[in-house]
């Protein structure tokens, strides 16, 4: 039987418009195991090499102070977010 730390975090993306005061308004709410953990925004007005990439506009909880380069795809962002949400046994308080 798998231990509690082998359980994959369920990450759900929910489309939402985000008022960023720019043309970057296509967003995704990121829910991990039912809790809001981040808001992703697709870059639209930035330089050509960043256009279409996904940026963490806001992070909550353990993602609050993390800074990450924009992701090429939503799959890349989801993979990274899932990795960040894994339980950290060393820093975990009971």
Tell me the per-residue pLDDT of 35-52, one tens digit each, with 9 for 90 and over.
Answer: 999 999 999 876 667 889
Tell me the per-residue pLDDT of 7-40, one tens digit each, with 9 for 90 and over.
Answer: 678 899 999 999 988 888 899 999 998 999 999 9
Q: What is the pTM of this model?
A: 0.80
Tell me the per-residue pLDDT of 52-88, one tens digit each, with 9 for 90 and over.
Answer: 999 999 999 989 988 889 999 999 999 999 888 887 6
Region class of 23: left (phi > 0), else alpha (psi between -120 and 50), else beta: alpha
């Amino acid at each position: 039987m798998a231990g509690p730390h082998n359980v994959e975090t369920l990450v759900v993306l929910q489309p939402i418009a985000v008022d960023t005061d720019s043309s970057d308004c296509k967003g995704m709410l990121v829910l991990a195991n039912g809790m809001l953990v981040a808001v992703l925004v697709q870059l639209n007005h930035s330089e050509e090499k960043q256009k279409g990439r996904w940026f963490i506009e806001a992070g909550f909880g353990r993602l609050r102070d993390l800074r990450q380069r924009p992701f090429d795809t939503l799959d890349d962002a989801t993979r990274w977010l899932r990795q960040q949400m894994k339980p950290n046994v060393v820093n975990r308080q009971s």
